[in-house]
A and B are shown apart, each in its own frame.
Chain A
Amino acid sequence: MAEIWSGTLWPVLVIVFYILLIAVPLMLAMAYLTYAERKIIGGMQLRQGPMTVGPYGLLQPLADGAKLFFKETVIPTGSNKIVFVLAPMVTFVLALIGWAVIPFGYGLVLADINVGVLYLFAISSLGVYGIIMAGWASNSRYAFLGALRSSAQMVSYEIAIGLIIINVLITAGSLNLSEIVLAQSGLWYAIPHFPMFMIFIVSILAETNRHPFDLPEDEATLVTGYNVEYSSMTFALFFLGEYMNMILMSAIAVILFLGGWLPPFAIFPFTLIPGPIWFILKICLVLFVFIWARATLPRYRYDQLMRLGWKVFLPLSLAWVVLTSGFLVYFDMLPR
């Protein structure tokens, strides 16, 4: 009995504790990301943003959560009920499980697997299922059109993201996220791979269906797209999933290009701040770009979006793969 306890149950309990340690602050961060978004956009548009609930509107996310929680969950009669309820859960779970491999600091990672990058890529490529299931199960034209747009968009931009990741992998020589971060200790990849960094930032905007690529939930033409039939907690899960995906994608951008938990310069005043704080600060920087883009840019037209993905980003990132590998082989700088 003691053997089962120490060999099986105790490690499982420890892992569950670690999962909670990651997931609970993440939920909180997500809630306050919506607040930050409203405040920043408010500031950019010369408004105040939420100010009523709590000091400076700080309790607004909690009020929003309570409101969504107490609303009635409406399941449309013509919908496919099981798939309809499953879709928001899929979205939310996929947004959460990506965090299992994200290193927050040196050795601070739940699962230090050798194929971390591939795992994240696989998880983000599954994100399309939540949306496509929601669109189909709602049995509504708007939702279905939104889902079709969204899946085509996500599949297109994943190709560019995959090629950009290959660039980083060639330079770092590992699929392990911690090793990729450590390989950047001299120079962040955002500098040698600057064009790829830019394309990656634009692609993650498209991958998370954010402005200016939020065509799946285009209010003007599709009401709100794939989640038009959802209400209450089912809607809240989609909403949470979208913001969680934003944070996850920002974390991936930070790990691949901005040196993860490493300080900008490994000299005295910068090394005082611990790694996880740097990591969070960098994530906030990328998230700010997300919100900034939303406040600034008008929505793309669908054919322009497809053109950008297939005719601009794909050839460019493929050419950069050839260039990077050619450069590394010629100067004999390939990582061993």
Chain B
Amino acid sequence: MTISLFLFYILAFVATAAAVMVVAARNPVHSVLFLILAFFNAAGLFVLIGAEFLAMVLVVVYVGAVAVLFMFVVMMLDISSVRMRGGALQYLPIGLLVGIILLVELVLVGGTWTLAGSEIASPSPPLDSGVTNTEALGRLLYTDYFYAFQAAGVILLVAIIGAITLTLRERGAIRRQDISMQVHRSRAEAVQLRKVKPRAGI
């Protein structure tokens, strides 16, 4: 058994176990932590098949940003895990339905993969062997799929603006710090020297 095979089994096992624990953990914060562990192992699997760029992007985007937000939200909410458990049976039928559909789809994909042979089994275009996969990905995205890539960017931009608009509200009496105004105050308008008589005040 080679090291990479051994690593594959470890990573795959931990990823699956962590994914199960995301659903099974009683404490929602623990669920998020297990989710992070699952992301991590998925990144490890990417490294094993030689897609190191995807692995790093997975860690930066999902673990470094998305999961931090999850963590924030889950920590802030005061979720009582006992109350949450109560409704589990109620949602069982729909959960089972979704699960069965997913299973059937996966079996279909796997079935066509093995039946159709080499055409579908390697759907990716051939790469130059001398090119790093970051460069290969960049070439593909910025030449062949340029418009799709730009469209995805625009959609994300719209989503950002939408999110900001949703949370933006006018607040009336709020005093903001205007730094340039503070800096440009002169001594004449900021300081006054007065002679104050005793017991008279200003």
Cβ contact within 8 Å between A136 and B29: yes
Return the contact of A132 from the options B3, B57, B68 (Cβ within 8 A).
B68
Cβ contact within 8 Å between B52 and A151: no
Answer whether residue A303 sits at the interface, using C-beta atoms and an 8 A cutoff: yes
- On whether A118 and B177 interact (CB within 8 A), knowing A132-B71, A175-B134, the answer reads no
Return the contact of B68 from the options A8, A12, A83, A151 (Cβ within 8 A).
A151
Nearest CB to that of B132 among chain A residues? A114
Please report the C-alpha to C-alpha distance between residue A303 and residue B178 in the assembled complex, in whole angstroms. Answer: 12
Cβ contact within 8 Å between B3 and A129: no
Answer whether residue A281 sits at the interface, using C-beta atoms and an 8 A cutoff: no
Cβ contact within 8 Å between A119 and B33: no
Answer whether residue A180 sits at the interface, using C-beta atoms and an 8 A cutoff: no
Cβ contact within 8 Å between B56 and A115: yes
| Chain A residues within 8 Å of B15, by CB | none
| Chain A residues within 8 Å of B63, by CB | 122, 125-126
Please report the C-alpha to C-alpha distance between residue A295 and residue B98 in the assembled complex, in whole angstroms. Answer: 60
Cβ contact within 8 Å between B177 and A303: yes
Nearest CB to that of A154 among chain B residues? B68
Cβ contact within 8 Å between B64 and A158: yes
Return the contact of A125 from the options B27, B53, B60, B134 (Cβ within 8 A).
B60
18 contacts between A and B (CB under 8 A): A8-B3, A80-B27, A83-B30, A83-B33, A113-B52, A114-B52, A114-B134, A118-B53, A118-B57, A118-B60, A121-B56, A125-B64, A126-B64, A133-B33, A148-B72, A155-B68, A158-B64, A303-B177
**Known interface pairs A125-B60, A151-B71; 19 further A-B residue pairs with C-beta atoms within 8 A, sorted by A's residue number:** A80-B27, A83-B33, A113-B52, A114-B132, A115-B53, A118-B53, A118-B56, A118-B57, A118-B60, A125-B65, A126-B59, A128-B68, A129-B68, A133-B33, A148-B72, A151-B72, A155-B65, A175-B132, A303-B177
Nearest chain A CB to B7 CB, angstrom units: 12
Nearest CB to that of B27 among chain A residues? A80
Q: Classify the secondary structure of B's interface with A.
A: helix
Cβ contact within 8 Å between A122 and B52: no
| Chain A residues within 8 Å of B64, by CB | 122, 125-126, 128, 158
| Chain A residues within 8 Å of B59, by CB | 122, 125-126
Answer whether residue B100 sits at the interface, using C-beta atoms and an 8 A cutoff: no
Which A residues between 159 and 204 are near B, CB-CB below 8 angstroms? 175
| Chain A residues within 8 Å of B53, by CB | 115, 118
Please report the C-alpha to C-alpha distance between residue A175 and residue B137 in the assembled complex, in whole angstroms. Answer: 13
Please report the C-alpha to C-alpha distance between residue A267 and residue B5 in the assembled complex, in whole angstroms. Answer: 49
Nearest chain B CB to A180 CB, angstrom units: 14
Number of interface residues of A (CB under 8 A): 27
| Chain A residues within 8 Å of B60, by CB | 118, 121-122, 125
- Cβ contacts A8-29/B at 8 Å (1 or 0 each): 1000100000000000000000
Name the residue among B27, B33, B64, B177 with the largest chain A CB count within 10 angstroms. Answer: B64
| Chain A residues within 8 Å of B132, by CB | 114, 175
Nearest chain B CB to A150 CB, angstrom units: 11
Nearest chain A CB to B3 CB, angstrom units: 6
Answer whether residue B24 sits at the interface, using C-beta atoms and an 8 A cutoff: no
| Chain A residues within 8 Å of B27, by CB | 80
| Chain B residues within 8 Å of A128, by CB | 64, 68
Name the residue among A115, A129, A132, A158 with the largest chain B CB count within 10 angstroms. Answer: A115
| Chain A residues within 8 Å of B3, by CB | 8, 12
Nearest chain B CB to A173 CB, angstrom units: 10
Cβ contact within 8 Å between B56 and A119: yes
Nearest CB to that of A120 among chain B residues? B56
Nearest chain A CB to B1 CB, angstrom units: 9
Answer whether residue B109 sits at the interface, using C-beta atoms and an 8 A cutoff: no
Which B residues between 118 and 134 are near A, CB-CB below 8 angstroms? 132-134
Please report the C-alpha to C-alpha distance between residue A151 and residue B27 in the assembled complex, in whole angstroms. Answer: 21
Answer whether residue B36 sits at the interface, using C-beta atoms and an 8 A cutoff: yes
Across chains A and B, which 9 residue pairs bring their CB atoms closest together, nearest first? A125-B64, A118-B56, A122-B59, A114-B132, A122-B60, A115-B52, A115-B56, A122-B56, A136-B75
Nearest CB to that of B67 among chain A residues? A129
- Cβ contacts A68-85/B at 8 Å (1 or 0 each): 000000000000100100
- Cβ contacts A101-135/B at 8 Å (1 or 0 each): 00000000000011100110110011011001100
- Cβ contacts B105-144/A at 8 Å (1 or 0 each): 0000000000000000000000000001110000000000
| Chain A residues within 8 Å of B29, by CB | 80, 83, 136
